[in-house]
Structure 1
Amino acid sequence: MAQLPLALTMGDPCGIGPEIVVAQWLRQPRLPAVVVGSVAVIRRALTVLAAAGWPVQGLTVQGWDPQSGEVPGTDVIPVWEPEGLPQGLEALPWGQVSAQAGQAAACCVRAAADLVQRARARAVVTAPLHKEALSAAGEPFPGHTELLQALATPDGQPLVPVRMMLANHELKTVLVSIHVSLRQAIEAVTIDNVLQTLKITHDSLRRMGIDRPRIAVAGLNPHAGEGGLFGDEEIHTIIPAIDAARAQGLDVSGPWPPDTVFMRARHAPPEHPGEFDVVVAMYHDQGLIPVKYLGVAKGVNVTLGLPFVRTSPDHGTAFDLAGQGRADPSSLSEAMQVALQLSAAAPA
């Protein structure tokens, strides 16, 4: 039996998602993937890249049938248009928030997750969507992670606990909270949430081939609270969670000052081998700024805790670049490679 393809969503049709999808096929003419999206949108992106001087000769876009399970050969981008996909997406203006585009992006995420859950695809890779467009479409989810969490949860059951990991070749970081306000993020720093994050991180990295992950925990406050001088969340919340994780056999240390722990974890041999395999950060920007500072081209977003593999580039829709054929597909390429590796390693 042929190997199942990756389910690659097109992202927001007004952003760079369709362009980096096409650009990735130009880099690697026979990808083990199918695009979940609009044939017309992908063809528009192909036209944009052609106008920008990309070598698109011979590359075609064709519809794909999930029932066949077969991926076409070289120089073909197979696209599955799921039921409920809005029409006329190719006429939307580049670089603008659109409720129709947000509806389309969410529809494609749902369809891609369904393909994996029905064993028609091996993993989900998502091109960027726009959170304002998602909201304009009436979606109750602020982003990919929360939507996929809901899709992975059986009806009537508590939400499957998930976490965001952003990783490149030098640094991995996992977040206790994701897309919430800073005030809400501080409130989310509880013993249960921190401990759950540590356990999900440990289990996920073991599945990635790290037998005993070395997990560093960043403090919430400056200097990790400095013994309570700058806040006591470390004393009353983070340290008890670390102690509980250690009691369960996890290799966890901290809380470390958040302004230095990422430098210590950065793995750039031979001059700078990392002291840790991953850093657990207390909130979104604390964890993502260090990884993105090292460069978005190699960054990959991985959703931990889902019953299937999901990765994405570590950048957004880049409305300022959309429609110009100048977007760099490097992060998408990394995301696809990581998805192939993780899905190959995942238990049957």
Structure 2
Amino acid sequence: MNNEEKPIIGITMGDPASIGPEIAVKALLNPTVYEICNPVLVGDAGVFSDIAKRLNLNVVIRPIHSIQNATFQFGTIDVYDLNNVALSDLRFGEISAMAGEAAFASVKTVIDLAMADEIDATVTGPINKKSINEAGHHFAGHTEIYAHYTNTKKYGMLLVEDQLKVIHVSTHVSLRQACDLVKKDRILEVIELLHNGLISLGESNLKIGVAGLNPHAGDSGLFGTEDDEEIAPAVTEAKLRGFDVEGPVPADTLFSKAATGYYGGVVAMYHDQGHIPFKLTGFKWNAEKKQMDSVKGVNITMGLPIIRTSVDHGTAFEIAGKGVASPDAMLLAIESAVQLAKVKNKTGTPAGMKERKSDKNLRQYSLF
């Protein structure tokens, strides 16, 4: 495949005081990435040069100021240079407005590039929400930034790792607020986003499991009424619309079945209900070394007019700059972005925007 046929993937720096720059550079040291796409990093070129030098990584960092100037050659990493970090003031693992501003700027820039069709998909590195807010950008996270700058009203966070695929009714709100957001219309919306996302990812199993909110899915109203009054009616309506859906299923039962592939995807009612089982599957802690051996999992924002995938882990400030961060999740996020870009190029519509037929000729690339 020549460069003209490969999708251009814009990859953000993340917080410069985090593991974001490290995992981005490490991911692009994998030659398979260049076989499936044309990657370009977006952020401060000096930060990437510094991390490559610190870790003795054999790579050339090449600043550019236009996507048209990228060479997409393995061994030389193109960086859309924002030149907005004072390295003398940067401290690994520390929250700062400077780092937050740099991280935010890389996200805003990659959104602009995608909206202008200069790149085919976006991949985001981890940001620190406190640093972003210290810089004056009052967003709860990446998902909300993307929704705001693409003027998207209906969207959802889809987590993907092997057989477990989880989308959420709500994410970055308090648990008290999350319970109030469990409403029939929103649940229906998320079921459709998940269905379309599974198709875009080339999945054949479109069976969707919907989690209950309360213990034992409310147990006929004994432990809460939301399951009977909001979730069950949404599932009934989804079935009438032709979706293969089941629920509400008690969450402790749902996820044990989902991890085996019984469901193609599941709907979680709130952030931790979906994230905890997901991270138990994809995150591997080494108790002896006291560090993660592997951190796998991709976060895909469904419903946007552009493609956005992300690592599903945080900034890991405690190991930033030490050279031990795993690029596994970044590699998977790039792989997913490539898959979604191929679907978009065939249909003209990003994942989650509308229903489409599955293209069985699409390949699922494996970087491992």
Output the TM-score relative to the length of structure 2: 0.86
Q: Distance in 1 between matches of 2:33 and 2:221?
A: 56
Q: Aligned to 1:254, what secondary structure does the other structure show?
A: strand
Taking only the aligned residue pairs, the percentage that are identical comes to 40
State which of 35, 38, 41 in structure 1 corresponds to 2:41. 35
Specify every segment of 5 or more residues in structure 1 that has no aligned partner in the other structure, as ranges: 51-55, 154-158, 268-273
Question: What are the within-5 Å matches in structure 2 for residues 292-331 of structure 1?
Answer: 292-296=279-283, 297-331=295-329
Question: What are the within-5 Å matches in structure 2 for residues 1-348 of structure 1?
Answer: 1=4, 3-28=6-31, 31=34, 32-50=38-56, 56-57=57-58, 59-68=59-68, 70-82=70-82, 86-89=84-87, 91-153=89-151, 159-210=152-203, 213-267=206-260, 274-296=261-283, 297-346=295-344, 347-348=347-348
The answer as to whether partners of 2:205 and 2:263 remain within 8 angstroms in 1 is: no
Aligned length: 329
| Partner amino acid, structure 2, of 1:284 | H
* Shift of residue 227, structure 1, vs aligned partner: 0.8
Compared with structure 1, are the counterparts of its residues 20 and 90 closer, same or farther at alpha carbon in structure 2 (3 Å cutoff)? farther
User: For 1:41-71, what per-residue CA distance to the aligned partner results, in whole angstroms no more than 9, with x for missing partners?
Assistant: 0011102211xxxxx23x1101123251643
Specify every segment of 5 or more residues in structure 2 that has no aligned partner in the other structure, as ranges: 284-294, 349-368
* Shift of residue 120, structure 1, vs aligned partner: 1.1
The answer as to whether partners of 1:131 and 1:142 remain within 8 angstroms in 2 is: yes
The answer as to whether partners of 2:11 and 2:122 remain within 8 angstroms in 1 is: yes
* Shift of residue 2, structure 1, vs aligned partner: 5.2
Q: Distance in 2 between matches of 1:200 and 1:97?
A: 34
Q: Distance in 2 between matches of 1:111 and 1:28?
A: 26
| Partner amino acid, structure 2, of 1:117 | M
Q: Distance in 2 between matches of 1:67 and 1:47?
A: 25
Match in the other structure for 1:156 = none
Compared with structure 1, are the counterparts of its residues 232 and 25 closer, same or farther at alpha carbon in structure 2 (3 Å cutoff)? same
* Shift of residue 4, structure 1, vs aligned partner: 3.9
* Shift of residue 167, structure 1, vs aligned partner: 1.1
| Partner amino acid, structure 2, of 1:119 | D
Two-structure CA RMSD over aligned residues (Å): 1.6
The answer as to whether partners of 1:168 and 1:300 remain within 8 angstroms in 2 is: yes
